[in-house]
Amino acid sequence: MAKKKIFIWLGSAFAVSLAYLFIAAKPITSEFTLQKEWSINLDEKNPPNDEVAANSDNLIPFFIGNRYGYIAPNGTLMAKKSIQNNQLISITPKIVSVWNPIPDTLTIESAVPDQTITIKDPMGYPYLVDDRIFLIGKDQDSVALINNGGNTEWSYAVGSPITALDCRADRLLIGTLDGTIYLLSLKGELLFTFQPGGSRLSVIAGGALSSDGNYIAVISGIDRQRFILLEKASQTYKVLHHQFLDSDFRRPVLVQFVQNNQYVLFEGKTNALVFDIHKRKIHEVPLNAPLLAIETIAQSNLVFMLTGKDLQKQLIVLRLPDRKLITAPFVSRESFIYTAGNHIILGSDSVIASYLVEK
């Protein structure tokens, strides 16, 4: 099963934004509705409910501005804390870590109940996936798995700084600055390595594993940039499809498998590109701003995309492969999207709201 990570994007007037989102956004069809269930204003005094927190599952993590915490599925605020301006954070539905740029000690806290794991002299920073703790080395050229005692289970060094990571299907995918991908088991064993090449500059700008581990998608190279899809074949992976792109990103690129691994969705130069694996066909979805986040609902052909530049943001609801159901612009300094079950959670500045997705 795909591991759940929260996507956080910098980006008020959120009350106006929500009003526009569900009144003025066009088109909205009868086959798709969003029903508001609850909202929370983080500026209001709403103390966390410890009783609910101790018994709740499927927690909704959030990080917006300098505040982070957890919300129960019914909208009860379970935890709200703040970080300092120079601190960094990694948060999942199960664990969270806040650390200084050069930490002497790393503390990993469980969402509920209050349990902690301490890593002394970490020489790096955490990469959290669900309840798994990885440690990226201080030079970004190694990764280690940390157990619940705070000790290193294994460590793996790569030949260049890490530029892409994904963990699914009990595997860890690593992409590096020198254009190499590594696939590791969660025992630290090297299962596969590959250098796509074909560009003037080699770099892995983005990478993703399918939820069943049968496919690897990669955005590779600069001048020219390429999309490459590899398929598992016995004990190795072989190139199923590749093509050059109009994009030439010098930054990380979002790439994700969607709708039960039928499609790969990734950012293009001025669009979102949706690759149909079975038909080997690219569909283009025009975008007016960079793609900031991708969220999906299990067993559904709906994709939620957050785009934006500066204060101008857009929520786009896409029915795969390329039909826009909603395009809703709004103004926000900081915003995020997150899916839980058949709910979409929208956060902006101080307001977080949950909507039931119905078809």
pLDDT score for 58:
87
Which pLDDT band, with edges at 50, 70 and 90, does 33 fall under? confident
Residue ranges covered by each domain of the chain: 9-358
pLDDT at position 350 is 92
pLDDT value of position 49: 67
Q: Read off the pTM.
A: 0.90
Beta-carbon contacts of residue 138 (< 8 Å; ≥ 6 apart): 123, 124, 125
Query: What pLDDT is recorded for position 358?
Result: 84
* Residue 355 burial by Cβ neighbours in a 10 Å radius (0-12, 13-18, 19+): buried
Query: What is the mean pLDDT of the segment spanning 189-212?
Result: 96
Q: In the structure, what pLDDT confidence band is assigned to residue 29 with cuts at 50, 70 and 90? A: low
Residue 114 makes CB contacts below 8 A (sequence gap 6+) with: none
pLDDT category at 278 given cuts 50, 70, 90 is very high
Residue recorded with tokens 């499927």: 58
- pLDDT tens figures, 69-96: 999 999 999 999 999 999 999 999 999 9
How far is the C-alpha of 12 from the C-alpha of 18, rounded, in Å? 11
CA 139: distance to chain centroid? 23
- Pairing mode, if any, of strands 142-146 and 95-99? unpaired
Residue 78: C-alpha distances to residues 131, 164, 180, 318 (Å): 18, 32, 42, 31
pLDDT for residue 292 is more than 80: yes
Q: What mean pLDDT comes out for the span 147-173?
A: 97
CATH 2.130.10.10 assigned to domain 9-358? The reply is: yes
Tokens of 219: 């955005």
* pLDDT > 90 in the chain, percent: 80
pLDDT for residue 219: 98
Give the SS3 label for residue 50. Answer: helix
The values of phi and psi at residue 328, to 5°, are: -125, 105
With beta carbons less than 8 A apart as the criterion, state whether 137 and 146 touch. no
User: Is residue 9 predicted with pLDDT exceeding 50?
Assistant: no
| Rounded Cα gap, residues 161 and 140, in angstroms | 5
The answer to whether 285 and 318 have CB atoms below 8 angstroms apart is: yes
Mean pLDDT computed over 232-238: 95
pLDDT tens string 317-344: 999 999 999 898 999 999 999 999 999 9
pLDDT of amino acid 32:
75
Count of CB atoms within 10 A of residue 187's CB? Answer: 9
Question: Which residue, chain included where needed, has tokens 């960079």?
Answer: 290
Model confidence at 124: pLDDT above 70: yes
Task: Establish how many alpha carbons lie within 13 A of residue 159's alpha carbon, considering only the half-sphere containing its beta carbon.
Answer: 9
Contacts 24+ apart (CB under 8 A), 289-293: 289/313, 289/314, 291/254, 291/267, 292/7, 292/9, 292/11, 292/254, 293/7, 293/9, 293/254, 293/336, 293/337
Q: Which helix (H) or strand (E) holds 18?
A: helix 14-23
* The pLDDT of residue 47: 67
- In order of 34, 55, 66, 111, the CA distances from 50 in angstroms are 30, 9, 22, 11
Query: In this model, does residue 48 exceed pLDDT 90?
Result: no
Q: Tens digits of per-residue pLDDT, 102-119?
A: 889 999 999 977 789 999
Burial grade of 234 (CB within 10 A; 0-12, 13-18, 19 or more): exposed
Asked if 230 and 216 touch (Cβ cutoff 8 Å), the reply is yes
pLDDT reported for residue 6: 42
pLDDT, the chain, mean: 89
Give, rounded to a whole angstrom, the gap between the first and last alpha carbons of the chain: 24
The contacts of residue 54 (CB under 8 Å, 6+ apart) are 112, 113
Report percent pLDDT > 70 for the chain: 88
CB 324 within 8 A of CB 285: yes
Residue 276 confidence (pLDDT) above 90: yes
